[in-house]
């Protein structure tokens, strides 16, 4: 569904991605892991149209995506939940959710129905709907940023380190949400530092090093000893 083929990209003169190739098949959860600063977020930014590649190709549902603006990428069904649990702090929870449907803002009935669906899925957000998002806890903000992305009706959701700086119990909830979303048909590309969480939900693993995919392979039932895997796959530079 999403394909990156020999993608290069960077910031100014600094090239960060040195030829990334990866595939996210429809209906799957794919994990992208790697140490700090290896280019995972940059890869997601390129796929989301927030950063244009300097070379290679990005394809989504068979169509070229490189050169397409971020707002149009969302309309095509590819949505990024960025790192950092960013929300519009001064806006209420509900206003944040409505912003997620900005590109179909004239569809008032559809947005109302989607709000109800998100509140059913994230009951805590219903209780907090009038609260300024800046007052939410880290876990609540992460739920809100995922729910806001879902308001855009994505076919593929990219999550950038959704478990960062959250308590283990909240990480478990997020993992379950990712699995539930996938059960309901959503394809997921998950960037994580939390190897155990990624291994628990994903079917296939890509490991990045120095702006490249160092290797990839399916995750199997034998992959339980994640500590060994962490050391083996991520090496000394794992942050």
Ligand X SMILES: Nc1ncnc2c1ncn2[C@@H]1O[C@H](COP(=O)(O)OP(=O)(O)OP(=O)(O)O)[C@@H](O)[C@H]1O
Nearer to ligand X, 185 or 239 (CB): 239
3-state secondary structure of 167: coil
Question: Which of 11-19, 118-126, 196-204, 225-233 is the region at the interface with ligand X (rule: CB under 6 A)?
Answer: 11-19
> In angstroms, rounded to a whole number, what is the distance separating the alpha carbons of residues 85 and 105?
23
In what order do the strands lie in the sheet containing 29-34?
Answer: 78-81, 156-160, 187-192, 29-34, 204-209, 212-218
Residue 37 makes contact with ligand X by CB under 6 A = yes
Size of the site for ligand X (CB under 6 A): 13
| CA distances for 208 relative to 46, 113, 116, 222, angstroms | 15, 39, 38, 22
User: Of 1, 3, 29, 42, which one interacts with ligand X (CB under 6 A)?
Assistant: 42
Residue 40 makes contact with ligand X by CB under 6 A: yes
How far apart (Å, rounded) are the C-alpha atoms in residues 228 and 209? 18
**Minimum CB distance to ligand X, residue 84 (Å):** 9
Segment lying near ligand X (by CB under 6 A), choices 40-48, 63-71, 100-108, 125-133: 40-48
- Residues 125-164 vs ligand X: string with x where CB under 6 A? ----------------------------------------
Rounded distance between C-alpha atoms, residue 218 and residue 207, angstroms: 12
Residue 62's closest CA among 136, 126, 5? 5
Span near ligand X by CB under 6 A; candidates 20-28, 34-42, 95-103, 108-116: 34-42
Contacts to ligand X by CB under 6 A: 11, 14, 16, 34, 36-42, 83, 193
């Amino acid at each position: 569904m999403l394909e990156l083929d020999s993608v290069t990209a960077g910031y100014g003169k600094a090239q960060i991605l040195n030829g990334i190739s990866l595939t996210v098949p429809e209906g799957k959860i794919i994990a992208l892991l790697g140490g700090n600063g290896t280019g995972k977020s940059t890869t997601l930014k390129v796929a989301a149209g927030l950063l244009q590649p300097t070379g290679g190709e990005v394809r989504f549902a068979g169509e070229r995506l490189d050169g397409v603006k971020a707002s149009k990428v969302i309309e095509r069904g590819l949505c990024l939940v960025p790192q950092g649990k960013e929300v519009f702090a001064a806006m209420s929870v509900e206003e944040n959710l409505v912003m997620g449907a900005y590109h179909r803002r004239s569809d008032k009935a559809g947005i109302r129905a989607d709000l109800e669906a998100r509140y059913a899925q994230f009951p805590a957000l219903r209780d907090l709907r009038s609260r300024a998002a800046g007052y939410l806890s880290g876990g609540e903000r992460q739920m809100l940023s995922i729910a806001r992305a879902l308001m855009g009706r994505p076919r593929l959701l990219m999550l950038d380190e959704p478990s960062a700086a959250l308590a283990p119990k909240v990480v478990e909830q997020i993992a379950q949400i990712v699995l539930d979303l996938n059960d309901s048909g959503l394809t997921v590309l998950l960037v994580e530092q939390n190897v155990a969480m990624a291994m628990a939900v994903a079917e296939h693993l890509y490991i990045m090093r120095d702006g490249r995919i160092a290797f990839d392979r399916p995750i199997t039932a034998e992959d339980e000893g994640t500590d060994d895997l962490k050391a083996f796959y991520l090496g000394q530079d794992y942050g």
